[in-house]
Copies of this chain bind each other. A is one copy, B any other.
Amino acid sequence: MAQNIYDRTDFFDGYSRLERSVAGLAGAAEWPSMRALLPDMTGLRVVDLGCGFGWFCRWAREQGAARVLGLDLSDNMLHRARSMTADPAITYDRADLERLELPATVFDLAYSSLALHYIPDLAPLLATVHRALVPGGYFVFSIEHPILMAPSRQDWSTNADGHPVWPVEGYLREGARKSDWLAQGVVKYHRMIGTTLNHLIQQKFVIAHVEEWGATEAQIAARPEWAKERERPMFLLIAARR
């Protein structure tokens, strides 16, 4: 089972202070790009895999989604999510994405933000999601970009010209990566872009869009401290259709 890092107090406390936790979707720099991949939400039945505090679930309802199911492994996250809405069309349930079971052809959109890199084996989850979507249904998700995840030392370096560089190593060695992001010993799973896409294709998804996201020039103009964020991509955003 995936490491339940969000129920560790040190990690949860750190996560709760992130801009994306406090400000919601508006605090997530990649949100405009994610939103651009989403269909018109009116009347959609939506499942959010790794819903966290439920920001996306509530946004989906505001946009006209008919029903939203938010799933998360963390009781901490679910407790906070439930405290933030009384909407009867939103349900939050505890679920381990590695053992996920969903009924067949009941969702129009499956969404997941920065959760699937915690899952060691994608294939069973993708099969479940494919089966749970209606034909033509959408699967839109983000993960950390493998260029970011691959190195054992995730630190910026400098080249001979004094230019910041991101030292890639181990890109072809897929598997667990321990990082000390927010807490010590957080385990994520590095997979090449090709591996993730081929898993989707094997499960009969049609790839609709692939975006290697870094902060935009406009975002860097507003936050000069993000200047390095065009040297290497931070997130991978994928849209697929059943």
Contacts and interface: CB of A to CB of B under 8 A. Distances in A.
Interface of A: 147, 151-153, 157, 159-161, 163-173, 192-194, 197-198, 201, 206-212, 214, 230-233, 236
Contacts of A172: 212, 214, 230-233
Nearest to A228: B169
Please state the number of chain copies in the assembly.
Answer: 2
Given A198-B210, A206-B206, A168 B147 contact: yes
Contact of A231 (B153, B168, B207, B230): B168
Given A157-B159, A194-B212, 20 more contacts: A147-B168, A151-B165, A153-B159, A153-B161, A157-B165, A163-B169, A165-B168, A166-B168, A167-B167, A167-B168, A168-B168, A168-B231, A169-B231, A171-B214, A171-B230, A172-B230, A193-B193, A193-B212, A201-B208, A206-B207
A198 B209 contact: yes
28 contacts: A147-B171, A152-B163, A153-B159, A157-B159, A159-B167, A163-B169, A165-B168, A166-B167, A167-B168, A168-B168, A168-B231, A170-B230, A171-B214, A171-B230, A171-B232, A172-B212, A172-B214, A172-B233, A173-B230, A192-B212, A193-B193, A193-B210, A194-B236, A197-B197, A198-B209, A198-B211, A206-B206, A206-B207
A168 to B, nearest CB: 5
* Interface-centre pick from A151, A172, A197, A209 (highest chain B CB count, 10 A): A172
A6 to B, nearest CB: 28
A161 B157 contact: no
A213 to B, nearest CB: 9
A239 to B, nearest CB: 10
A233 B170 CA distance: 9
Contacts of A209: 194, 198, 201
